[in-house]
A and B are shown apart, each in its own frame.
Chain A
Amino acid sequence: MNPRHRRLTGVISAALALAVSLSACGSTAGDDGDDAGASGGSISVAVTDPIQTIPGRQTVAYDLNMAVWSPLTWVDTDGELSYVAAESIESDDATTWTVTLRDGWTFHDGTPVTAQSYVDSWNAVAYGPDAFENSGQLAGIAGYDDLNPAKGEPKTTEMSGLEVTGDLTFTVTLDGPDGQFPMQVSQAQTALYPMPASALEDMDAYNTHPVGNGPFAVVGDYVENEPIETEAYADYQGTAPTVDAISFVPYADATTAYTDVQAGNIDVASVPAARLPQAAADFGDRLHTFEAAGISYLGLPLWDERYQDVRVRQAISMAIDRETIDKVVYGGLYTPATAFTPAVEAGTPEGICGTFCEYDPAAAKALLDSAGGFDGTIDIYYPGGSGLDELYKAIANQLRQNLGVEAVATPSSDWAEFSETRTNGDIDGPFFSRWGALYPSQQNTLRSFFVEGGGCPNCIPYYEDDVADLIAAADAESDPAASAEAYAAVQERILEDFPAPPLFFETYSYVTSERVAELPTSAVGNPTFTAVVLAEGA
């Protein structure tokens, strides 16, 4: 053989050999989720890779957190509050709350869960210089501001509002009366979960190996891009979970996860926006849609004089055919909004929006004409790359057809650009606006939208002192019926000014493999994986 020829084949075969050897190190040893399932009672769940697993820091690991930790309280789909890690949470004046913990609970490392664990954890999460992403959930506790001074380092590491009064009791003093406090320590407010003493010493190690007080313990360490394996914690003192193990498998693309459920390789995935219209056809009764504490609005630029007249805002609302959009864009899985807070939040006065939330193009046009018409173009602005294009194009089309005003929908390049533009108020048309409440109370939604600095800056740029006062008055009520009535009064007041058209009560949709028989949920709208029922023989 010609020596030069040998050289060529040598190069190619060396390259191929390299390919083989490199790929050998790239692959993980045969550990696929679905084999484990057959052995008994385990499920696999598609998640976004969390990066941060610590409750005070995570922003996309709710499912993992709710399996590995137990909250003080729990709100079920009917809005009923029950106690989990807490035995009771009581107050005489709604300002100072006494939390009594259940006895005998331990973290997965065996150390007892005490009042001190809670107080230390909350102080750590609130400590300003550590900049924990979820620290805002503790902002109502007296002394939070001392840990987050406007300038310089805080002079203390403890919030004055927290006091340990016994092994299992501590008191929480709030900045003002707040009857919703027991709701605020419910399942999705993860910043209020307890952490063991070891966590406070080394948060990085804790992020790699989270240790909670919940029904499932993390097995091994969290490694980016690798499934997080959890197994039922033998010493768990709460309601025993229905499955033995949960595997949280990271997917970069929700559509891929959806496809993988179709193939039966993974048990549960949330439905991405692009798949909502076809999910029912693809999955039949394996599509699960849960009412969520989320609501979307069409935010209006109240700083623009063309939107000053309330009739213009009402006309825009009445020109939107929510039912049709729901069918086309969301596969009929959402609910047209009829109030200013999601229906799942206790006491929401459904229907309060009345005719203003109902589609009536003729009345809308008449209302707009009586307000003197509209000058120029309605330029809708929304975050690009978030699967919202169809929704806002549909709204623009309807406004154009029904109001006879030119309307277009323009996306931003990404979320960061949108969020900055909205926060700065640099928009001259309607815009994307939504809020998903982490605790299902009207308080959370109303405060986020209608109180300045309440959480969703400029989502609805309508900050009236009397609205804020009414919300504060409602907050002060601790009796559920009285507070529901007081929050309804807030909505009556908002309706007068109709600052932005409510669009949809949101739902969260999930699809499951044939191994899953029942997928229960709670008031926050994500699956309660600890109570999943597997199909027979699965």
Chain B
Amino acid sequence: MTRRVTRRLVDLLVVFLGVTLIIYLMVFALPGDPIAALGGDRPLAPNVVAELRERYHLDEPVLQQYLRYLGGLLQGDLGTTFQGQSVADRMALRWPVTITLALTAWGIEVVLGVLLGLVAGLRAGAVSDRLILAGTVVATSIPVFVLAVSAQLWLGVELAWFPVAGTGEGWPTAYLLPAAVIAVFGLASVARLMRGSVVDTLRTDFVRTLRAKGLRERQVVGVHVLRSSAIPVLTFLAIDLGYLLGGTVVVEGVFNLPGVGQLLFQAIRAHEGPTIVGVSTALILVFLLTNLLVDLLASVLDPRIRHE
């Protein structure tokens, strides 16, 4: 176990260096001068542009910029934006929003997805199963943007059950609708995965044995079937949490939630190297860590992996 974790952590460092360099090079390769574009279609005076280029070291070769960035990073400095704000501060402002949104969506996925999957799996072939299956197909085929805007217009503007935008009303009110919109896609996958898994587990010998022993059905399903079926679903859920924490540009935009997805989008539009690298690196770390967590969890749940 320790060896596994150490190896993963070494991987992490290599990935980190590679990714930061690649992203830095890519941002540098983007056409157009971000400083000249800072003022939009009312260009800044040439002397201002020159001064700002010098201040943010954009006049240096890209490798020198990258090394300067890494040097700052070693001292815990994530760099500054072209408007002089600290990237670390900006990220610190936005992580809570994204984490809240992601965990809310994830919670919906876990509870509803597992429940629907369980029901469908136990009644495989029945009407309720087919309805759930059809529902998941529809859910996965609607683009997130369409779903977000329709939900906003219908539930936010028409019925006014939820706030249209912003985090002003706090959790859970402000987060429920956007979280539900994001969760729909993952929820459908969880339900289908869970259903398949339950159907498989019900056919296994050990379930038959349990039933033969006279164990109550509630206990068979509630304890044994649920746990055995949960392993593949859990893997999916953990990876999905990584995605969710990456922030969703579309939903954060539509619901005006100032999370990291939005920050990344704005930074890419502004060609802000330090912000883009900072955010994406954090996202990669989150993703790698959730993956590590999946591995560990799977070995906890599945004795075969643990005793390998």
Contacts and interface: CB of A to CB of B under 8 A. Distances in A.
Contacts of B100: 19, 22-23, 26-27
Interface in B32-68: 32-34, 36-48, 51-52, 55
Contacts of B165: 251, 256-257, 259-260, 265
B43 A455 contact: yes
A27 B39 CA distance: 32
Contacts of B141: none
Contact of B170 (A4, A29, A49, A130): A29
B253 A253 contact: yes
Contact of A33 (B39, B44, B168): B168
Interface stretch (A7-15, A86-94, A516-524): A7-15
B300 A251 contact: no
A60 B36 CA distance: 16
B167 A415 contact: no
Contacts of A413: 30-31
Contacts of A436: 41-42
A262 B168 contact: no
A356 interface: no
Interface stretch (B7-15, B90-98, B199-207, B277-285): B90-98
Contact of B164 (A28, A265, A420): A265
B39 A2 contact: no
A19 B106 contact: yes
Interface stretch (A70-78, A131-139, A323-331): A131-139
A481 interface: no
B233 to A, nearest CB: 11
Interface in B194-227: 223-224, 226-227
Given A22-B96, A265-B163, A27 B171 contact: yes
Contacts of A418: 32
Contacts of A135: 45, 47-48
A28 B156 contact: no
Nearest to B39: A59
A26 B175 CA distance: 10
Interface string B71-106: 000000000000101000010011011011001101
A414 B33 CA distance: 11
B240 interface: no
State which size class the interface on A falls in. Answer: 35 or more
A362 interface: no
B27 to A, nearest CB: 11
A416 B31 contact: yes
Contact of A5 (B93, B223, B255): B223
Contact of A19 (B94, B104, B174, B223): B104
A259 B171 contact: no
A371 interface: no
B142 interface: no
A19 B107 contact: yes
B257 to A, nearest CB: 8
Interface in A22-42: 22-33
State which size class the interface on B falls in. Answer: 35 or more
Q: Which of A7, A26, A453 has the most CB of B within 10 A?
A: A26
Contacts of B106: 15, 19
Contacts of A390: none
A456 B43 CA distance: 7
A434 B223 contact: no
A30 B47 CA distance: 45
A469 interface: no
A51 B83 contact: yes
B271 interface: yes
Contact of A416 (B33, B85, B90): B33
A490 B156 CA distance: 53
B168 to A, nearest CB: 5
Contacts of B171: 20, 23-24, 26-27
B270 to A, nearest CB: 8
B19 interface: no
Nearest to A251: B256
Contact of A28 (B47, B152, B170, B262): B170
B104 A1 contact: no
Contact of A131 (B30, B48, B85, B167): B48
Contact of A414 (B55, B168, B174, B269): B269
A423 B36 contact: yes
A420 B39 contact: no
Contacts of B266: 252
B119 to A, nearest CB: 18
A385 interface: yes
A259 B152 contact: yes
B255 A131 contact: no
Nearest to B268: A414
B166 A133 contact: no
A465 B224 CA distance: 88
A28 B257 CA distance: 12
B111 to A, nearest CB: 8
Nearest to A49: B258
A416 B48 contact: no
B17 interface: no
B37 A2 contact: no
B32 A419 contact: yes
Contacts of A32: 168-169
Interface in A43-96: 49, 51-52, 59-60
Contact of B43 (A49, A132, A419): A419
A417 interface: yes
A271 B160 CA distance: 22
Contacts of B36: 416, 419-420, 423
Q: Which of B42, B107, B163, B174 has the most CB of A within 10 A?
A: B42
15 contacts: A2-B224, A15-B107, A19-B103, A23-B104, A23-B171, A25-B96, A136-B48, A251-B256, A252-B252, A260-B166, A265-B163, A416-B270, A421-B31, A421-B32, A435-B42
Interface of B: 30-34, 36-48, 51-52, 55, 83, 85, 90, 93-94, 96-97, 99-100, 103-104, 106-107, 110, 152-153, 156-157, 160, 163-172, 174-175, 223-224, 226-227, 230, 252-256, 258, 262, 266, 269-271, 297, 300-301
- Pairs A-B, 4 closest by C-beta atoms: A416-B32, A27-B170, A19-B103, A136-B45
Given A2-B224, A20-B171, A32-B168, 18 more contacts: A8-B301, A15-B110, A23-B96, A26-B97, A29-B170, A30-B169, A129-B51, A131-B52, A133-B44, A227-B168, A252-B252, A263-B160, A265-B164, A265-B166, A412-B32, A416-B30, A416-B37, A453-B46
